[in-house]
Amino acid sequence: MTAPPGSGPARAWAEIVGGDALGHGHEPALSWWLPEGSSVQHAYRVRTDDGFDTGRVDGPVQSFVPVSVFNRSRRTTAARVKVWTDLGESDWSEPIQLEAGLLAEADWTARWIGVDEAERPPKGSRPAYWLRTVFEVPPAGRARLYATALGLYEAFLDGRRVGDAELSPGYTQYRARVQYQAYDVTSWLEPGWHVLAVLLADGWYRGQVGAPRAADQFGTDVALRVQLEVQTDQGWQVAAASGPDWRAAASHITAADLIGGQREDRRSLSHLHGTSFDDRSGRRRRRGPLGRATPPSGRGDPAGRGAAGARREGCRGRLRAELQRVGAARTPRSGGHAPDVVARRVA
């Protein structure tokens, strides 16, 4: 018996499973809803465009079915699922795109870089820094940005914020792993010169944490690792990678701390996102120390799966609302201004 036309699984999606007890894994898995009107699943079949195929698998399982296609870096494919239910054999689901990131340390040409601080400010009052480079992109089909930090980062391409997650790369056990994110920036990069600028701040790595407001829990120096790749006729090529040729400078964020809050001097916003910006006054980066973030012996490579360098999984914080300034009053104690704000919902 065959189900009515157009009766594929109502919804199918992929998640990352496997790995360690914290849920940081290294293989995609599919889940799906049954076709409209059906109530019992008798079997399923999952296949990808590049040859993976489970064949028919009898049983009611429809959650977290592994799709073992992350066996090499940058592998890209699409997965589909069909089911056999009380209504019969269904159509194939809509394709679910799957893409592996950088799975081995050898895939990274980017180096860890940090910022030379002549005098480190006290905890809770440490600024965020800009790290910046200018690079040229050849004609390319696809582009990916891979980024991580010992601390928190926000990446900008030609002044445009990359991604919508806040507090990236997220909290982790730095002694065992450093999470990274991958971004599709294909539509942002025309052939020619571009600017990649990244804000780097303390975060959980060396910022204040917990009731005692303890700082420097994992290290004393923030660091960044960023790699931008483009796919050309010759394959994937690195167009930009963090290294000693990058420039660093203080940002408009004069203090950034998860407990102490954030302070900004909006007067110091610069035009560093333009290719014509002269950054020769910026300090050259020294190579950022890995310190205790270096994975312990036997715990996997620094860009591996489920170990240090694991892809970011789990919940992400995203912007849900903005606070709109409606006025300001001088504060008698500090002589500054305290803004009155109202919340404005962001669509």
Q: Are residues 122 and 262 in the same domain?
A: yes
Mean pLDDT, 10 residues at a time, over the chain (347 residues)? 70 83 71 95 97 97 94 94 96 95 92 90 92 94 96 95 92 87 95 96 93 90 96 94 92 92 84 68 41 26 36 58 67 59 47
User: Whole-prediction pTM value?
Assistant: 0.80
Instruction: Note the residue count of the chain.
Output: 347
Joined tokens for residue 218? 């994992």
Q: Is residue 32 part of a domain?
A: yes
Joined tokens for residue 196? 């990649």
As a whole number of angstroms, the distance between CA 64 and CA 79 comes to 13
Q: Is residue 342 part of a domain?
A: no
The answer to whether the CB of 90 falls within 8 A of the CB of 9 is: yes
Write down which residue in 99, 119, 150 finishes a domain.
99
* Beta bridge partners of residue 342, listed in sequence order: 324
As a whole number of angstroms, the distance between CA 36 and CA 90 comes to 10
Write down which residue in 80, 99, 118 finishes a domain.
99
pLDDT at 290: 25
Q: Is residue 328 part of a domain?
A: no
pLDDT at 169: 93
The answer to whether the CB of 18 falls within 8 A of the CB of 27 is: yes
Q: Are residues 195 and 259 in the same domain?
A: yes
Q: Are residues 163 and 194 in the same domain?
A: yes
Q: Is residue 122 part of a domain?
A: yes
pLDDT at 116: 87
Q: Is residue 35 part of a domain?
A: yes
CATH number, residue 300: 2.60.120.260
As a whole number of angstroms, the distance between CA 226 and CA 163 comes to 14
Locus of tokens 């803004």 = 339
Q: Are residues 25 and 149 in the same domain?
A: no
Evaluated on CA atoms 263, 292, 283, 225, the torsion sign reads negative
- Burial code (b: 16+ CB inside 10 Å, e: under 16) for 226-238 equals bbbbbbeeeebee
Q: Is residue 168 part of a domain?
A: yes
What's the structural domain count of the chain? Answer: 2
Expressed in angstroms, the distance from the first to the final Cα of the chain is 45
From 156, 171, 182, 34, select the one nearest 101 (Cα to Cα).
182
From 101, 345, 120, select the one nearest 229 (Cα to Cα).
101
The answer to whether the CB of 329 falls within 8 A of the CB of 337 is: yes
Q: Are residues 160 and 74 in the same domain?
A: no
* Residue 66 burial (C-beta neighbours within 10 Å; 0-12, 13-18, 19+): middle
Joined tokens for residue 171? 């909290």
pLDDT at 263: 92
Q: Are residues 266 and 126 in the same domain?
A: yes
Q: Is residue 242 part of a domain?
A: yes
Q: Are residues 142 and 25 in the same domain?
A: no
Joined tokens for residue 265? 């001097």
- Burial code (b: 16+ CB inside 10 Å, e: under 16) for 291-310 equals bebebeeeebbbbbbbbbbb
Q: Are residues 110 and 93 in the same domain?
A: no
Q: Are residues 91 and 150 in the same domain?
A: no
Q: Are residues 181 and 68 in the same domain?
A: no
Q: Which helix (H) or strand (E) holds 239?
A: strand 235-241
Q: Is residue 333 part of a domain?
A: no
pLDDT at 334: 55
pLDDT at 32: 97
Q: Are residues 259 and 302 in the same domain?
A: yes
pLDDT at 341: 54
From 319, 311, 317, select the one nearest 344 (Cα to Cα).
319
From 62, 101, 324, 297, select the one nearest 54 (Cα to Cα).
62
Task: State the residue range of the domain holding 311.
Answer: 105-319
pLDDT at 287: 38
Q: Are residues 38 and 115 in the same domain?
A: no
pLDDT at 337: 61
- Measured in degrees and rounded to the nearest 5, phi and psi for residue 266 equal -70, -15
